[in-house]
Amino acid sequence: MLSRLLILCFMSTSVSAAVSEDGKFASLMVQVNLTKYERKSGLCHQQMRNFKLREEDKIQLKALPHEASDALGKLLDDALNSCAQPELFNLSKSILVLEEQNKLDNSTAITSQIEGIRKLIFSKNIIAEERAYDNLPISLKEKLEKIEFLKKPFDLFEVIEQAWDAPQ
């Protein structure tokens, strides 16, 4: 991850002189916010790696049908995104600002920087997870949303294995 960050920083520092001062500043803000997000995201992923399913939570999940496991991918993404706030929001906002500025500057270096960061940070295929969650009965979604540990980073595989006794 660090090597990708260094490549992106190099790309953004090699911005041509044709880029406006506002474009250069917006590019720098993306770099700053990316660094802050990477730091925060690392802490969130550490929480996920350190997760241990409590017995009372396991009992609560076991009472739910196995189809509830279909929602866990989306709930984990939501928990990681929530954990990474406000850094993820600030990064997203700075990318949008840079995109808008680049409409004026039309820099291929800036376009490459934006595309690289998007692939690095927002490359997950969340449509399938959102669809799986959306297809669950409303009553099951409500039960899942009341489970407190699912609102913080958790180990998806540990939860599935311990709650439903089998990997998905």
What pLDDT score does 164 carry?
Answer: 83
51-to-45, 60, 63 alpha-carbon distances in Å: 10, 17, 21
For the chain, 168 residues long, give each residue's pLDDT as a single digit of tens.
544 554 555 454 555 558 999 999 999 999 999 999 999 999 999 999 999 999 999 999 999 999 999 999 999 999 999 999 999 999 999 999 999 999 999 999 999 999 999 888 876 667 888 899 999 999 999 999 999 999 999 999 999 999 887 544
What pLDDT score does 6 carry?
Answer: 46
What pLDDT score does 123 carry?
Answer: 67
Question: In angstroms, rounded to a whole number, what is the distance separating the alpha carbons of residues 91 and 97?
Answer: 10
Strand, helix or coil at 133? helix
pTM of the shown model: 0.83
Omega into 167 within 30° of 0, i.e. cis?
no
Q: Which domain holds residue 156?
A: 2-164
Structural contact between residues 110 and 45, judged by C-beta atoms closer than 8 angstroms: no
Structure-token pair, residue 52: 């241990």
Question: In angstroms, rounded to a whole number, what is the distance separating the alpha carbons of residues 21 and 17?
Answer: 9
Domain count across the chain: 1
Q: Taking the CA atoms of 85, 41, 89 and 13 in sequence, report the sign of the dihedral they define.
A: positive
What pLDDT score does 124 carry?
Answer: 67
